Amino acid sequence: MAETTEFESDQFLKLLTDALQSGPGTPQWHEAVQRLRADNNKELDEYRLIIKARERLESGQEYRSVRPGPGFTRKVMAAIDADIAAPKRSIPTATIIAILAGVVIVGVVIVVAAMMMKSNTVNPDEPPSDMNGLFTHPLVHGDFGTAIGPEWRTVGVVPVKAGANGLVVAPAKPPEDKDNYRGGGIVTVSPIQANQTFMADVLVRVEHPSENLLVQLFVTDDPNFDEQTAQSASKHEVVVWLQGGDVKVGGLPNDAVVSQKLIDGQQPATVHLSIKAGRQFLTAEASAGNDAVKQLYSGKGELASDKPRYVGVRFKLKGSERPESVTVQSVTIQKP
């Protein structure tokens, strides 16, 4: 049996099948028959029989040829006329049901998608739900009683050391420039992911409030720090610090700085500074002694929402302030 592909490549088979379709009396037919007569190939007899069968079919062209009777034509035309005259058909019930079902399915999909998007979208002007709860799971803690732990690294030119009461500025040669702050402190080695809400709290003992020795709690999304100031190189950080008797918050949108009176006069005090940070939202709080906690800021922060964060404490020093006047007794970072 000839393969199908041969009917494309074999010129005689192509001619033969053309002849079989067009039938006796056509040019293709004559050509095929003449080729068959002239050719002596082994399949000649088979092809001749096929030609003969085609001729018999040609003679039987009347076979099952039927014509429409008047009744049939009347029926067809009546059906068409009825269709023309009929008012436009309303949409079938099944179609309506299918459309309604489709609308309902699409609606459900849209609602679910909207809910999912809503749950995934953080409104930067609102605190994340887990920020208002308790922060009970410690991520990092340091009380610096004997040493600065391995979870911290030091930054800046102002040396810091662990002492019996906590982290303090280490004694050093007074700088020649007495008008500008120099910085030094510690920062977490491991980053905290941006989607992790956390609270950083620092407990500070202030022997006497000073303008020359500041202590700052900061959260930054930049792991690189300026050596002189110990500030993150990009200055992309939120900072709560104690300056004199005031507590201040910086690194806020529009370069705003919030300031409140926290402690009074020259009396020693124990102060809590804390920052709660979500992906985009943050709060800054402070309290002195047994006084109520003061919320200094609550709103959108400037930290990148997709970069990991680093928490640190640093001292800013100028002039010849006594280093031991401010002690960081502990730093605690916790998650809800």
User: Which residue, 251, 272, 262, 260, is CA-closest to 200?
Assistant: 272
CB of 33 to other proteins, least distance (A): 5
User: Which residue, 243, 237, 235, 238, is CA-closest to 215?
Assistant: 243
| HSE, side-chain direction, 13 A CA sphere, residue 270 | 10
CB of 12 to other proteins, least distance (A): 11
Q: Which is nearer to other proteins, 83 or 179 (CB)?
A: 83
CB of 96 to other proteins, least distance (A): 21
CB of 36 to other proteins, least distance (A): 8
Cβ contact 311:200 at 8 Å: yes
CB of 90 to other proteins, least distance (A): 16
Rg from Cα positions in the chain: 45
At a CB cut-off of 8 Å and minimum separation 6, what does 78 contact?
Answer: none
Reading phi first (left if > 0) and then psi (alpha if -120 to 50, else beta), residue 7 is in: alpha
Cα separation, 289 vs 193, whole angstroms = 32
Q: Which is nearer to other proteins, 31 or 207 (CB)?
A: 31
3-class secondary structure per residue, 161-199: EECCCCEEECCCCCCCCCCCCEEEEEEECCCECCCCCEE
CB of 41 to other proteins, least distance (A): 15
Q: Which is nearer to other proteins, 80 or 114 (CB)?
A: 80
- Cα 282–214–331 angle (5° rounding)? 55
Q: Which is nearer to other proteins, 18 or 222 (CB)?
A: 18
Q: Which is nearer to other proteins, 95 or 195 (CB)?
A: 95
Tell me which residues touch other proteins (CB under 8 A).
1-5, 7-8, 13-14, 16-17, 20-21, 23-25, 29, 33, 36-37, 46, 48-73, 75-77, 79-81, 83-84
CB of 102 to other proteins, least distance (A): 24
User: Which residue, 210, 301, 288, is CA-closest to 258?
Assistant: 301
Helix, strand or coil, per DSSP, at residue 62: coil
Cβ contact 22:42 at 8 Å: no
Q: Which is nearer to other proteins, 80 or 257 (CB)?
A: 80
Q: Which is nearer to other proteins, 48 or 261 (CB)?
A: 48
